[in-house]
Chain A
Amino acid sequence: MKSKKDPGSSAGPNPGFSRRGFLGVGLGSGAVGVGLLEKPAVAEPAGAEVVGPQAVPVTLNINGKPVNLTLEPRVTLLDAMRNYIGLTGAKKVCDRATCGACTVMLNGKIVYSCTVLAIDAQGKEIQTIEGLAAPGELHPVSAAFWNNDAQQCGYCTPGFVMAATGFLKENPNPTDADVRHGLGGNFCRCGTYMGIRKAVLEAAETLKKGGASNG
């Protein structure tokens, strides 16, 4: 198992130091590993399509629905969601793959959306916290966070809920030690970790039993 803070092994040295070079870094908690993004930016193959700098049409498949946008290629998935689509559950906190507040799922795997370009997220299933449960309902992981008071100001909470959801997919029967290791890629300033530990273990139980939420 690998913490988010470990750099992705395939990211390799990156002479260009471009934002895309970090794509391998922002991978999810647990055993998500690398290979999530089709091509690490360093070794951009010859003949790759060059777009921009002007805005280009972009289609994102978010929470099961296609969203058509016109975006400059430099816009991150996080900024696209927050500034262009109005999906503000994912938060911009460090903006460089350290804190996990911007966590979403890409093809079922956890990523830091501040470190994925929107144009690179095309053709993939993007799931955000808004897509976890129908309006008025709570996903079992969100419910477990509520039940265990795993939020104070709540700014880190959506990122933690997404990270925990992805973690539980990979680790449906976690121990307390697994939780401590697997959620090491998210930070909370208010200090809600004690509640989060309990919440993730409770959510694992609920999900095994079929996932009814108590919202």
Chain B
Amino acid sequence: MANTPDYSWPPMETRQVMGQNIKRLDGPQKSAGRAKYTSDFTRKDLLFAAYQTSPYAHARVTKVDTTPAERMPGVKAVQVVSPAGTEVQWEGTEIVAVAAVTEEIATEAVGKIKVEYEVLPHLVREDDLTKAGTHVKAAGEKTVGDPEQAFQQAEVTSDGHYGIPVVTHCCLETHGQVIEWRGDHVNCWPSTQDVTRYAGTLAPNLKVPVANIDVRMDYVGGGFGSKFAPDSWGEVCARLSQKAGGAPVKLFLDRATEQLIAGNRPSAYAKIKLGGKKDGTITAWQSESWATGGVTGGGSPPLPYIIANIPNQRQNHSAVSVNCGPQRAWRAPNNQQASYLTCCAIEDFAAKAALDPLEVFKTNLNLYAPEARRATYAWQLDKAAELAEWKQLWKLRGQGSKGAVKRGLGIGFNAWAGMGHNSQCRAIIHADGSVEIEIGTQDLGTGTRTIITQVAAETFGLPVGAVGLTIGSNQLPPDSASGGSTTVGGVSASTRKASVNALAKLYEAAAPALGVEPAQLEARGGKIQVKGGGKSLTWAEACRKIGGGGSISETGANDSRNPGGLIAAGASGIQIADVSVDTETGVVKVNRYVAVQDCGLIINPRLAESQVYGAIIMGISTALFEQRVMDEQTGRMLNADMEFYKLAGISDIGDIVVHMDIRPENDKRGVIGLGEPPAIAICAAIGNAVANAIGVRVPRIPMTPDHVLDTLDGRAV
């Protein structure tokens, strides 16, 4: 083809299918219980597997005696994961797995295996740095400008302590997979965020060529950043299958093990000092922060968040190593912590200066990075304030309500890249008029199926019902992991390109019948027509002109390094929490939560809103309830379950108001990911609202009654 085809999105006002609130295409399957998740896998010859895990946070395995399990009828394979001599670094480490004909036998048999340990000293809490001793490592220092002088000259200075704990992903479908290893071929049904790369990651461990590994997944019950890799259980599951003569083995973590080892968000704690002028201009930042993401330390929030260009800064950060399950990416890694630490420090500065924090956030817009987003934040601050009735409801810190129940408002901000990932798509148009789209991607519940179909339908001028879609297999054109809010950009761009390429071929087939050049044709309203009106063929008639093999098959690719104009990076949002705090019981209730969010061009507003609602609800859950509670005495997690690891329920979330910022200037930028940005600022906004309500900073998330009452009684750290 001589010229590159025009892939650009149709203008906002002419879109027919994109921009519509199409109902989630897999909604009927999900809401009727017919969607089959990997954990729903059933087959006559299926074996069930279970783990025995370490009860100790730090120990050396001295003996693993598997004979009691091997003797049990119904046991088909035993796989030792941590043989004698292994140093176990956290509770929940997998020691041995058993596959058996029933789940009951597998669980009982693995429990009978005798494991002995030499218990070693541990550290499982990092909240008090003075008790962490040699587990603390310097992890970065930075000085900008002249912080010393800036603090001396500051008209207002504020100080605060802030902490945000480790929380777990708590996916409702736990981590696991079904694997069948027969001969030299391995069939995998994982619960994963990365169908395309699963085989490539597993292959070296099994010493099987990637080409011999088949991966299939239709539905996944949550991931949130914790399900990118096959993990050690992928390999263990495969070996159990091999040992059992190739029968498929299902190995899913139980809830306790899921909470212990299958992912958590690193903590972050900091002492932060701000200096500035009476008018609210911030001139100096000083922070001493620390965090843990498990044994390797980890967790380094980018400070100061968004307001990155404060002219004078001194920072130092330490990493604490604890004997707890390792961190995994958690819906906007490091950003929630950074947003919390920064927004709380700004709010405390505003309170000290007796200024309205909304004004302080605005006064310092010229310090926001990147510059290009400043105008958007300015607009969003006003819009969020309007929706939250800030002017009417906000009062100076602690000067609100008279009674025991105090009301307060607080602000948080977010920023995220969300550039589309590498993705390839195949679009097939058959002579009978049917259309198929194929991409090796996955739909985490974000609506990926629906938006791919909308993009293809828009391009072909067809309704969504006319477009078939296949995803969820590594036999399809490769996509990438669904992480970092990169999927919508990747798949929408690759689908657009593949569809435009296929359509160009259809134009070539149909042009002679219409007596024009292919370039003069367009696809609209179920027709292939001459641009600007005139002659046309119905879609079906045009497809009948396809000669040769009877179908057109074209591919399209998104290259994240060279994305063209279809997609972009850089979403931003402002959120405001409105809470009531009962100062007698310490209970915090969310009255209303306002989110103003941009994410460029929106393919399906209903699904986009659902993403924002979901992110906020997950955020409210972490702000009010969630924390991993570790017992230093025993080294164990006290709430590795769902009774005491508490998630927000339907009555805990107040009213949520979402405003998608779809102004034309945002639409023009192209598609930007949305999964993480709205999940970032909730602890910040709620933490600030609580401080505003009760007149004093509750330093530690979650805003539980004990944290609130401790603060009110002057017992907080």
Interface set of A (CB-CB < 8 Å, partner B):
5, 72, 74-75, 79, 82-83, 86, 88-96, 98-99, 101, 128-130, 132-133, 138-139, 142-143, 145-147, 149-158, 161, 179-181, 183-184, 186-197, 215
Q: Is the CB of B39 within 8 A of A91?
A: yes
CA distance A123 to B40 in the complex (A): 26
Q: Which residues of B contact A93 (CB under 8 A)?
A: 172-174, 255, 642
A96, A129, A155: the one contacting B222 at CB < 8 Å is: A155
Subset of 5 A-B contacts with CB under 8 Å: A89-B34, A93-B173, A146-B23, A157-B31, A180-B650
Q: Which residues of B contact A183 (CB under 8 A)?
A: 649-650
CA distance A98 to B646 in the complex (A): 10
Given contacts A88-B40, A91-B173, contact A138 B642 (CB under 8 A): no
Q: Is the CB of B445 within 8 A of A184?
A: no
Q: Is the CB of B31 within 8 A of A145?
A: yes
Q: Is the CB of B642 within 8 A of A187?
A: yes
Task: Indicate whether B35 reaches chain A with its CB closer than 8 angstroms.
Answer: yes
Q: Which residues of A contact B607 (CB under 8 A)?
A: 149
Q: Is the CB of A181 within 8 A of B651?
A: yes
For A90, the closest partner residue in chain B by CB is: B33
CA distance A156 to B444 in the complex (A): 13
A interface, over-half SS: loop
For B21, the closest partner residue in chain A by CB is: A149
Q: Is the CB of B618 within 8 A of A189?
A: yes
Nearest chain B CB to A67's CB is how many angstroms away? 14
Q: Which residues of A contact B40 (CB under 8 A)?
A: 82, 88
Nearest chain A CB to B61's CB is how many angstroms away? 27
Task: Indicate whether B26 reaches chain A with its CB closer than 8 angstroms.
Answer: yes
Q: Is the CB of B23 within 8 A of A88?
A: no
Given contacts A99-B642, A189-B170, contact A161 B33 (CB under 8 A): yes
CA distance A38 to B615 in the complex (A): 42
CA distance A193 to B656 in the complex (A): 10
Task: Indicate whether B613 reaches chain A with its CB closer than 8 angstroms.
Answer: yes
Q: Is the CB of A184 within 8 A of B172?
A: no
Task: Indicate whether B254 reaches chain A with its CB closer than 8 angstroms.
Answer: yes
Q: Is the CB of B28 within 8 A of A130?
A: no
Chain A CB within 10 Å, residue with most, of B30, B34, B103: B30
B28, B173, B221, B616: the one contacting A191 at CB < 8 Å is: B616
Q: Which of B298-357 contact A (CB under 8 A)?
A: none
Q: Which residues of B contact A196 (CB under 8 A)?
A: 650
Q: Is the CB of B31 within 8 A of A138?
A: yes
Q: Is the CB of A149 within 8 A of B104?
A: no
Given contacts A88-B36, A129-B33, A193-B617, contact A153 B221 (CB under 8 A): yes
Task: Indicate whether B446 reaches chain A with its CB closer than 8 angstroms.
Answer: yes
For B46, the closest partner residue in chain A by CB is: A83
Nearest chain B CB to A172's CB is how many angstroms away? 19
B interface, over-half SS: loop
Task: Indicate whether B24 reaches chain A with its CB closer than 8 angstroms.
Answer: yes
Chain A CB within 10 Å, residue with most, of B24, B36, B610: B610
Q: Which residues of B contact A156 (CB under 8 A)?
A: 172
Q: Which residues of B contact A149 (CB under 8 A)?
A: 23-24, 27, 606-607, 610
Q: Which residues of A contact B651 (CB under 8 A)?
A: 180-181, 184
Binary interface profile of B, 8-24, with partner A (CB < 8 Å = 1, else 0)?
00000000000000011
Given contacts A75-B104, A189-B172, contact A95 B31 (CB under 8 A): no
Task: Indicate whether B377 reaches chain A with its CB closer than 8 angstroms.
Answer: no
For B172, the closest partner residue in chain A by CB is: A155
Nearest chain B CB to A5's CB is how many angstroms away? 8
A143, A155, A192, A195: the one contacting B221 at CB < 8 Å is: A155
For A5, the closest partner residue in chain B by CB is: B649
Q: Is the CB of A139 within 8 A of B32?
A: yes
Nearest chain A CB to B38's CB is how many angstroms away? 11
Nearest chain B CB to A99's CB is how many angstroms away? 5
Q: Which residues of A contact B219 (CB under 8 A)?
A: 153-154
B23, B24, B642, B649: the one contacting A94 at CB < 8 Å is: B642
Q: Is the CB of B255 within 8 A of A191?
A: no
Task: Indicate whether B641 reaches chain A with its CB closer than 8 angstroms.
Answer: yes
Nearest chain A CB to B176's CB is how many angstroms away? 11
Q: Which residues of A contact B643 (CB under 8 A)?
A: 94, 96, 98
CA distance A156 to B615 in the complex (A): 16
For A197, the closest partner residue in chain B by CB is: B650
CA distance A139 to B32 in the complex (A): 8
Q: Is the CB of B27 within 8 A of A145?
A: yes
Q: Which residues of A contact B615 (CB under 8 A)?
A: 191
Chain A CB within 10 Å, residue with most, of B36, B40, B653: B40
Q: Which bracket fits the contact residues of B?
A: 35 or more
Q: Which residues of A contact B27 (CB under 8 A)?
A: 145-146, 149, 151
Nearest chain B CB to A187's CB is how many angstroms away? 5
Task: Indicate whether B99 reaches chain A with its CB closer than 8 angstroms.
Answer: no
Binary interface profile of B, 201-236, with partner A (CB < 8 Å = 1, else 0)?
000000000000000000111101000000000000
Q: Which residues of B contact A138 (CB under 8 A)?
A: 28, 31-32
A83, A139, A147, A193: the one contacting B23 at CB < 8 Å is: A147
Given contacts A147-B23, A191-B616, A191-B617, contact A142 B32 (CB under 8 A): yes
Q: Is the CB of A101 within 8 A of B254?
A: no
B104, B220, B445: the one contacting A151 at CB < 8 Å is: B445
Task: Indicate whether B37 reaches chain A with its CB closer than 8 angstroms.
Answer: yes
Task: Indicate whether B672 reaches chain A with its CB closer than 8 angstroms.
Answer: no
Q: Is the CB of A154 within 8 A of B650?
A: no
Q: Which residues of B contact A146 (CB under 8 A)?
A: 23-24, 27-28, 30-31
Binary interface profile of B, 602-646, with partner A (CB < 8 Å = 1, else 0)?
000011001001111110010000000000000000000111000
Q: Is the CB of A154 within 8 A of B30?
A: yes
A90, A155, A191: the one contacting B614 at CB < 8 Å is: A191
Binary interface profile of B, 36-67, with partner A (CB < 8 Å = 1, else 0)?
11011010000010000000000000000000
CA distance A191 to B48 in the complex (A): 31
Chain A CB within 10 Å, residue with most, of B222, B649, B651, B656: B649
Given contacts A75-B104, A153-B173, A191-B617, contact A95 B33 (CB under 8 A): no
Nearest chain A CB to B706's CB is how many angstroms away? 19
Task: Indicate whether B139 reaches chain A with its CB closer than 8 angstroms.
Answer: no
Known: A82-B40, A91-B221, A154-B219. 9 other contacts (CB 8 A): A99-B642, A130-B34, A143-B31, A149-B27, A187-B649, A191-B617, A192-B613, A193-B648, A194-B653
Q: Is the CB of B650 within 8 A of A184?
A: yes
Q: Is the CB of B445 within 8 A of A88?
A: no
Q: Which residues of A contact B255 (CB under 8 A)?
A: 93-96
Q: Is the CB of B172 within 8 A of A158?
A: no
Q: Which residues of A contact B642 (CB under 8 A)?
A: 93-94, 96, 98-99, 187
B29, B30, B42, B613: the one contacting A194 at CB < 8 Å is: B613
For A147, the closest partner residue in chain B by CB is: B23
Q: Which residues of A contact B42 (CB under 8 A)?
A: 82-83, 86, 88
For B621, the closest partner residue in chain A by CB is: A191
CA distance A95 to B640 in the complex (A): 13
CA distance A195 to B616 in the complex (A): 13
The 10 closest A-B pairs by CB, nearest first: A89-B33, A191-B617, A155-B221, A154-B30, A153-B445, A152-B445, A191-B614, A129-B33, A88-B40, A158-B33
Q: Which residues of B contact A132 (CB under 8 A)?
A: 32-33
CA distance A187 to B652 in the complex (A): 11
Nearest chain B CB to A94's CB is how many angstroms away? 4
Nearest chain B CB to A115's CB is how many angstroms away? 12
Task: Indicate whether B520 reaches chain A with its CB closer than 8 angstroms.
Answer: no
CA distance A139 to B34 in the complex (A): 13
Q: Which of B242-285 contact A (CB under 8 A)?
A: 254-255
For A200, the closest partner residue in chain B by CB is: B650
Q: Which residues of A contact B617 (CB under 8 A)?
A: 188, 191-194
CA distance A39 to B541 in the complex (A): 69
Q: Is the CB of B102 within 8 A of A83?
A: yes
Q: Which residues of A contact B653 (CB under 8 A)?
A: 193-194
For B617, the closest partner residue in chain A by CB is: A191
Q: Which residues of B contact A94 (CB under 8 A)?
A: 255, 641-643
Chain A CB within 10 Å, residue with most, of B172, B254, B615, B648: B172
